[in-house]
Amino acid sequence: MKTGILLTNLGTPDKPTKFALRRYLKEFLSDERVIQPPNKLIWWLALNVVILNIRPAKSAQNYAKVWDSFGKGSPLLSITNLQAKSIEKELSIKCGNLMLEVGMRYGNPSIDSALKKLQAQGCNKIVVLPLYPQHSDTTTSSTLDAVNKALNDWNAKPELVFIDNYHQDEGYIQSLTNSVTEHQQQYGKPDKLMISFHGIPQRFVNNGDIYYEHCVETTKLLAQSLNLQEDDYQLCFQSIFGREEWLKPQTKASLESLVQDGVSHVQVICPGFSVDCLETLEEIDEENRAYFMQAGGKTFSYIPALNDRKDHVKALSDIIVKQLP
């Protein structure tokens, strides 16, 4: 039996241009798992008449700031490919007859194209690892939708193993802990460690999405591993979009209010992002850094995503190995 490993992440535009962003955002914001529109017609009009005529140009400018910062092209794709190479090497030591491909939920390389490569190599078992530690319907379930849709075209359906989340995984938590410890050995301990996750609308959680619970649990486990007291850290949520209520507290508002409380030194870690991307490199390390400093903060530093750290690669490899014969 040949086993295929599919690593997936959210995705990226092909280029940091208005045209490429428009195509990417249309695919992303047309996913009903992401938007869950109360009124589909109103959302279609808003997306096609307003958003896709305004947002791509601004997003392209932001992508241009981080493009080629981790090798050629998008940081998210570049680093995910580095992860994949390291994971494949790690797995080859433990297991034979494995094929590994990378697929993006939106943009290229697509999940469908990655699965076709595994099919061409004769894989009759597929292990899918979405690189989202915390489950959300907007990311994890959407990925499963795409996988199932692609596999519907296979004449002989493979055995499918889908890894739903790893928000409590010991190796993952230890890798986060190591990254914080190493950062603080170089930059000192902050007044407050901000633990920032990508936000989702509060409505989604009210309707049963377990994402918030997973973020809380990861935060608690990381704080315990670092021996932090309750006042040493704060859970918060970033990347807010639209006008409806999103998960709180929000990262921007939290950074600004901390200054008013006398906090002058913060460090920010984003445990929900497996790799550095626009939301960490530009939104956190540039935009939110500016909010904090302009409010009167003195010292701000961003703790990089786990990326292709050796301990992170080992943790992800171990998660996959548990699903193998």
* Same domain assignment for residues 157 and 195: no
Is residue 325's pLDDT more than 80?
A: no
Residue 96: which CATH number? Answer: 3.40.50.1400
Is residue 297's pLDDT more than 80?
A: yes
d(C-alpha 246, C-alpha 71), whole Å: 34
* Same domain assignment for residues 155 and 194: no
d(C-alpha 234, C-alpha 141), whole Å: 27
DSSP 227: T
* Same domain assignment for residues 97 and 238: no
Total domains present in the chain:
2
Cross-strand pairs, 106: 11
Q: Please tell me the predicted confidence (pLDDT) of residue 153.
A: 87
Is residue 185's pLDDT more than 90?
A: yes
Average pLDDT over residues 160-176: 98
Q: Please tell me the predicted confidence (pLDDT) of residue 59.
A: 96
Average pLDDT over residues 87-105: 92
Query: Which residues, at least 6 apart from 269, have a Cβ–Cβ distance to it below 8 Å?
Result: 176, 179, 180, 193, 194, 195, 196, 302, 303
Domain span including residue 246: 170-303
Average pLDDT over residues 123-147: 97
Q: How many other CB atoms are found less than 10 A from the CB of residue 62?
A: 18
Amino acid identity of residue 94, one-letter, is: K
Average confidence score pLDDT of the chain = 96
pLDDT digits (tens, 9 = 90+) for 1-31: 799 999 999 999 999 999 999 999 999 999 9
Residue 308 pLDDT level (bands cut at 50, 70, 90): very high
Q: How far is CA 251 from CA 121, 139, 234, 258, in A?
A: 45, 20, 9, 10
* Same domain assignment for residues 46 and 67: yes
pLDDT digits (tens, 9 = 90+) for 190-234: 999 999 999 999 999 999 999 999 999 999 999 999 999 999 999
Q: Please tell me the predicted confidence (pLDDT) of residue 3.
A: 94
pLDDT digits (tens, 9 = 90+) for 248-293: 999 999 999 999 999 999 999 999 999 999 999 999 999 999 999 9
Q: Please tell me the predicted confidence (pLDDT) of residue 179.
A: 98
* Same domain assignment for residues 96 and 227: no
Q: Please tell me the predicted confidence (pLDDT) of residue 119.
A: 96
Q: Is 92 or 305 the better-scoring residue by pLDDT?
A: 305
Residue 241 pLDDT level (bands cut at 50, 70, 90): confident
* Same domain assignment for residues 149 and 161: yes
pLDDT digits (tens, 9 = 90+) for 137-153: 999 999 999 999 999 98
Percent over 70 (pLDDT), the chain: 100
* Same domain assignment for residues 148 and 15: yes
* Same domain assignment for residues 205 and 159: no
Is residue 243's pLDDT more than 90?
A: no
Predicted TM-score (pTM) of this structure: 0.96
Is residue 96's pLDDT more than 80?
A: no
